[in-house]
A and B are shown apart, each in its own frame.
Chain A
Amino acid sequence: MLSTILRHEWRVLRADRTAGIALFAFGAASALALLVGSSFARDRSESALAIARGADESLAKRREQAAAAPGPAAATRPAFGPNSPSTVGMSWGSVVVLPPAPLLSLAIGQADVYPASYTVAARTQESVQPGDSTESPLKLMTGHFDLAFVILFLYPLLIVATAFDLTSAEKEQGTLSLLLSQPVGLRTLVGGKMLTRILIIVAPAMLLPALGVLVAGSAGTPGVWGGRLLLWMFTVLVYGLFWFALALWVNSLGFRSTANALLLSGAWLLLVVVVPATVNLGVSLAHPVPSRVEFITATRVATNEARIKGSELLGRFLEDHPELSGDKGAESDFAVAQMARDRAVAEQLAPVLARYEDALARQHATVDRLRALSPTLLAQSVLHDVAGSGAMRQRHFRQQVEDFHAAWRSFFEPRVLQGTSLAAADYDAFPRFRFVDEPLLSIARRIGGPLLILLGAAFTAGILGLRRYRRFSMAD
């Protein structure tokens, strides 16, 4: 019976121009979105490679210069240059690069705004500097025409366009009562109609990204993005199920088709446009982004004081490092004095920085909590997390950068204090940054919550709708 319904519905939908146009528009939009996304991902890849290559090349050049330096290899307190640990470790530092997100071509997210590279130096103060950005502000404001946009905004409209008159059209035409005179229950009929539409719409929506990724290529190995792609497809399924369930429930209320269209479009407007915008407004008023300006001023004040108290700080620093007592070289080494000042500045700035990070964390936590108010907010956070272009991967990167920073410092600080010269062999021993993506399981665990809420909402709407269909009236 179900297969008969499916075949019948397939024929009806094929004849319906609205469904055809909507599907075509969705397909065209998805194609454009994949083009835009893969072009962005390609640019990002090239840029990341260029930065990494540039860093490797300059490191190799400096290694050569260090090896070619005249004089005994064990010379202490070398002058500014590739042999000096303070120059290499504290002034030049190391450039660390974040490889592009695994599914960047599907969702650009915040990848155009978050820093993709940092310069790490063996100092405490301001020693992890993000790379600059020349991104067009207009592009950032208007947003990207990527597949995430198509899924979040257009996909629900497509579902509304094909499911708004699920039972209302047949009821208005009078064919519903005719159909139900056959030995088929209303709910089986409704189920069949839904299933047809789900197959026609959700299946392509799920498979499109797979096609896009295969054609356009993706960052990293299939091992990295394969699992994430499956999670993406599952998210598209769940998001679609929510909107279908909503359409089912609205149809079960028995209104006319035009009323259904208005209700569902209103729901789209509310859930996709107004609620996310209102949440953002609320969060910006309740937890405004902490000001960087305070941090800038505090840094200058601390640096000023450290410079003025320079020799006093150096004296105290040398007391903390008894191994240097009596080392006249250490006392007059600019780098050692710099280290002493850095310590003092870092101490003063620590509470300011902590306040800043605190306020930011609170804002992000509030946004996370309010996600449940809109399926679009939920789906968006999941899609970006899975693609790797959201806040979580950036946080993960930042953590690894901090770890690398600690390793870099512990390599160079003793050498700066002792004033040992760097040889080529030392260069080979430098800590090297290698980014490790989060395991799929931790991402899956994180998105479990939001997806469960979405599924729960879909399930509730679906059950409510099916229950209503028991009392469905054939009369207008």
Chain B
Amino acid sequence: MSRDGRLRAALGLLVVLAVLSLVAGARYNASIQAEHRRASAEQRDLWLNKGEMNPHSAAHYGSFAFKPKSILASADPGLDPYLGVSVFMEAHRQNLAKYRPIEDATPARRLGSLTAAGVLQILAPLLIVALTFGAYSGEREEGTLKQILSQGVSVRDLALGKALGVALPVLLALVPVALAGATALLLFGSDGLAPDLPRVLLLSGAYLGYFVVWVGLGLIVSARAASSRAALVVLVSLWFANGFVAPRVGSLVSRWAHPAPDAAAFAKAIEADARAQPSWETLVKTSAEKLMAQYSVDSVDKLPVNPEALALVAGEDADTKVYAKHFGALNDAHGAQSRVYQMAGVAAPLLALQSLSMSLAGTDFAHHRDFADSAEAYRTQMVAALNESIVKHDRPQEIWDYKEGRLLWEKVPPFHYERPGTGFAVKHATIAVGALALWFVVVAAGLGPALRGLRVE
């Protein structure tokens, strides 16, 4: 009993810290979100007021896209610290997202930060272990198990009673965090509670399912173990393997299954493909021949369109395809690694919950890729609009010397990115959901046989 009191105090402290991190983090994230919005507006302003320049210079001037910050990211920061926050969109090349927050940190940061997700994923199961390891073995050792069963209490009812007895303190951990999450959305979310409420509910459900798996595991081990001590050792070892070893091993396996090129090889491959494209002179010649045939003239000077303008467009298309191929392969590799990590959730339920939690909080790789792809789509659209102006310029000989102004800049719409909805999050974590469900089924199915073989003394 006194041990339970100390455990409850420890859990209470951790829940307080988790809620604090969630709310303070949500406030901070809201300020980051506001800053990104402000910066986007400033970028748009700078774009419109950059003065007069050749449209191709404007394409090189480019634009910045800033990744939006979700409020729920304070509950589970996921991959956010390890992903870039801004993408520079310019002509002729696609860029990786830059400025990962982790780059400015010291190694101490890699020991993890206290987050609501961390508390619920790693520390709450330890509490469950502490509450369940002696459920049957303890009573057996004290002799009370025989007494209870001899009074006609069925093994099944006993199991249910035990499970519910553990559930209360665990729920006491989950409910304040979920409420804090909803409150944070209400207070700091720029779009209010409604759009992200399904995510909060699904997150609560996911963590609840994870806790149920641990309660079941604890009861099974307690029923089958030779002694309380053995049950504790087994459960703590499982807890340690699940919490500290499995993520690292899972990440190793995912990279072994789907290796991604390192930065130098990546750049080199793109360079090689780019050099293999037709040269500028070839593009100009091809365009010239095509145009001369189209307009039935015999000299370039008589053309109403400058073949160099078309060559610019053709060159841009070729470059875009090269980058799309390599960036696509890189992103596909990282996405495949995430999926393998989810599959490894079959061996360790934490990996499945981590993936599902990150996805619902909007901090997984799929959400990042959605943003990056959006930025790339905007980039091609922006450059195409500028190139079109060059193609249509009424004095084809001057396409590199003439200047355009605000009227053209306004024709390029501002970059606008909407975060995807809950369906997107669930879609990209289906494997994780399946793995968690499998654990649920296995534990539920295993509890019966474990209790059937229960030794009474």
A residues lining the B interface (CB < 8 Å): 29, 36, 43, 47, 50-51, 54, 109-110, 113-115, 131-145, 149, 153, 157, 258, 265, 269, 273-274, 276-281, 284-285, 288-294, 296-297, 300-301, 304, 307-308, 360, 363-364, 367, 371, 376-377, 380-381, 384, 389-391
Q: Which of B102-125 contact A (CB under 8 A)?
A: 102-115, 118, 122-123
Neighbouring A residues of B39 by C-beta, 8 Å: 293-294, 296-297
By beta carbon, the residue of chain A nearest B67 is: A293
Whole-angstrom distance between the Cβ of B405 and the nearest chain A Cβ? 13
How long is the Cα–Cα vector from A136 to B364 in the complex, in angstroms? Answer: 12
Q: Which of B36, B118, B255 contacts A293 (CB 8 A)?
A: B36
Q: Across the interface, do A280 and B111 meet the contact criterion of CB distance under 8 Å?
A: yes
Q: List 15 A-B contacts (CB under 8 A).
A: A54-B268, A109-B110, A132-B266, A136-B333, A138-B338, A140-B82, A273-B112, A277-B118, A280-B109, A281-B115, A297-B43, A377-B111, A380-B108, A381-B107, A391-B107
7 extra A-B contacts, CB within 8 A, seeds A36-B252, A141-B81, A304-B50: A135-B82, A139-B337, A273-B112, A277-B111, A289-B104, A360-B104, A380-B107
Whole-angstrom distance between the Cβ of A24 and the nearest chain B Cβ? 13
Q: Given A113-B100, A293-B85, check contact A136 B260 (CB 8 Å).
A: yes
Q: Across the interface, do A289 and B101 meet the contact criterion of CB distance under 8 Å?
A: yes
Neighbouring A residues of B51 by C-beta, 8 Å: 304, 307-308
**B415 on the interface (CB 8 Å rule)?**
no
Neighbouring A residues of B264 by C-beta, 8 Å: 47, 50-51, 54, 131
Neighbouring B residues of A135 by C-beta, 8 Å: 82, 263
Q: Across the interface, do B103 and A113 meet the contact criterion of CB distance under 8 Å?
A: yes
Neighbouring B residues of A50 by C-beta, 8 Å: 264-265, 268
Q: Across the interface, do B79 and A297 meet the contact criterion of CB distance under 8 Å?
A: no
By beta carbon, the residue of chain A nearest B266 is: A134
Q: Which of B49, B66, B250, B255 contacts A136 (CB 8 A)?
A: B255
Neighbouring B residues of A110 by C-beta, 8 Å: 102, 105-107, 110
Q: Which of B21, B49, B50, B79 contacts A138 (CB 8 A)?
A: B79
Whole-angstrom distance between the Cβ of B243 and the nearest chain A Cβ? 9
Whole-angstrom distance between the Cβ of A250 and the nearest chain B Cβ? 16
Q: Across the interface, do B263 and A280 meet the contact criterion of CB distance under 8 Å?
A: no
How long is the Cα–Cα vector from A454 to B109 in the complex, in angstroms? Answer: 20
How long is the Cα–Cα vector from A149 to B96 in the complex, in angstroms? Answer: 30
Q: Which of A137, A142, A363 contacts B247 (CB 8 A)?
A: A142
Q: Given A54-B268, A281-B17, A291-B32, check contact A139 B83 (CB 8 Å).
A: no
Neighbouring A residues of B416 by C-beta, 8 Å: none
Whole-angstrom distance between the Cβ of A103 and the nearest chain B Cβ? 14
Q: Number of contacting residues on B, CB 8 A? A: 79
Q: Across the interface, do B334 and A296 meet the contact criterion of CB distance under 8 Å?
A: no
Considering the complex of A and B, which 9 residue pairs feature the smallest CB-CB distances, nearest first?
A280-B113, A277-B114, A140-B82, A142-B247, A137-B82, A276-B111, A145-B248, A142-B251, A281-B114
How long is the Cα–Cα vector from A134 to B96 in the complex, in angstroms? Answer: 8
Q: Across the interface, do B108 and A276 meet the contact criterion of CB distance under 8 Å?
A: yes
Whole-angstrom distance between the Cβ of B194 and the nearest chain A Cβ? 28
Q: Which of A47, A114, A360 contacts B262 (CB 8 A)?
A: A47
Neighbouring B residues of A296 by C-beta, 8 Å: 39, 64, 86
Neighbouring A residues of B260 by C-beta, 8 Å: 134, 136
Q: Across the interface, do B107 and A138 meet the contact criterion of CB distance under 8 Å?
A: no
Digit string of B75-91 for contact with A (CB within 8 Å is 1, else 0)?
00011011101100000
**B402 on the interface (CB 8 Å rule)?**
no
**B186 on the interface (CB 8 Å rule)?**
no
Whole-angstrom distance between the Cβ of B81 and the nearest chain A Cβ? 8
Q: Which of B24, B42, B79 contacts A137 (CB 8 A)?
A: B79
A-B residue pair count with CB separations less than 8 angstroms: 190
How long is the Cα–Cα vector from A300 to B50 in the complex, in angstroms? Answer: 10
Q: Which of A43, A114, A137, A300 contacts B83 (CB 8 A)?
A: A137
Q: Given A273-B122, A276-B111, check contact A143 B105 (CB 8 Å).
A: no
Q: Across the interface, do A140 and B252 meet the contact criterion of CB distance under 8 Å?
A: no
Q: Across the interface, do A304 and B263 meet the contact criterion of CB distance under 8 Å?
A: no
Neighbouring B residues of A297 by C-beta, 8 Å: 39, 42-43, 46
How long is the Cα–Cα vector from A308 to B114 in the complex, in angstroms? Answer: 48
Q: Which of B330-355 contact A (CB under 8 A)?
A: 330, 333-334, 337-338, 341
Q: Across the interface, do B334 and A390 meet the contact criterion of CB distance under 8 Å?
A: no
Q: Across the interface, do A377 and B82 meet the contact criterion of CB distance under 8 Å?
A: no
Q: Across the interface, do A281 and B248 meet the contact criterion of CB distance under 8 Å?
A: no
**B99 on the interface (CB 8 Å rule)?**
yes
Neighbouring B residues of A301 by C-beta, 8 Å: 42, 46
By beta carbon, the residue of chain B nearest A273 is: B122
Neighbouring A residues of B49 by C-beta, 8 Å: 304
By beta carbon, the residue of chain B nearest A308 is: B51
How long is the Cα–Cα vector from A293 to B35 in the complex, in angstroms? Answer: 8
Q: Across the interface, do B263 and A276 meet the contact criterion of CB distance under 8 Å?
A: no
How long is the Cα–Cα vector from A422 to B29 in the complex, in angstroms? Answer: 51
**B229 on the interface (CB 8 Å rule)?**
yes
Among A278, A292, A364, A371, chain B packs the most CB atoms within 10 A around the CB of A292
**B417 on the interface (CB 8 Å rule)?**
no
Neighbouring B residues of A273 by C-beta, 8 Å: 112, 122-123
Q: Which of B126-142 contact A (CB under 8 A)?
A: 126
Q: Which of B10-50 contact A (CB under 8 A)?
A: 14, 17, 20-21, 24-25, 28, 32, 35-36, 39, 42-43, 46, 49-50
Neighbouring A residues of B99 by C-beta, 8 Å: 292-293
Among B81, B100, B105, B229, chain A packs the most CB atoms within 10 A around the CB of B105
How long is the Cα–Cα vector from A189 to B101 in the complex, in angstroms? Answer: 52
How long is the Cα–Cα vector from A281 to B77 in the complex, in angstroms? Answer: 12
Q: Given A307-B51, A376-B111, A380-B108, check contact A145 B102 (CB 8 Å).
A: no
Neighbouring A residues of B254 by C-beta, 8 Å: 136, 138
By beta carbon, the residue of chain B nearest A281 is: B114
How long is the Cα–Cα vector from A377 to B106 in the complex, in angstroms? Answer: 11
Neighbouring B residues of A143 by C-beta, 8 Å: 110, 247-248
Neighbouring A residues of B85 by C-beta, 8 Å: 292-293
Q: Across the interface, do A291 and B83 meet the contact criterion of CB distance under 8 Å?
A: no
Q: Across the interface, do B86 and A137 meet the contact criterion of CB distance under 8 Å?
A: no
Digit string of B234-262 for contact with A (CB within 8 Å is 1, else 0)?
00100010001101111110110000111
Q: Across the interface, do B334 and A138 meet the contact criterion of CB distance under 8 Å?
A: yes
Neighbouring B residues of A284 by C-beta, 8 Å: 28, 113
**B155 on the interface (CB 8 Å rule)?**
no
Whole-angstrom distance between the Cβ of B101 and the nearest chain A Cβ? 6
**B148 on the interface (CB 8 Å rule)?**
no
Neighbouring A residues of B368 by C-beta, 8 Å: 137
Q: Across the interface, do A134 and B268 meet the contact criterion of CB distance under 8 Å?
A: no
Q: Given A269-B126, A371-B108, A390-B107, check contact A293 B248 (CB 8 Å).
A: no
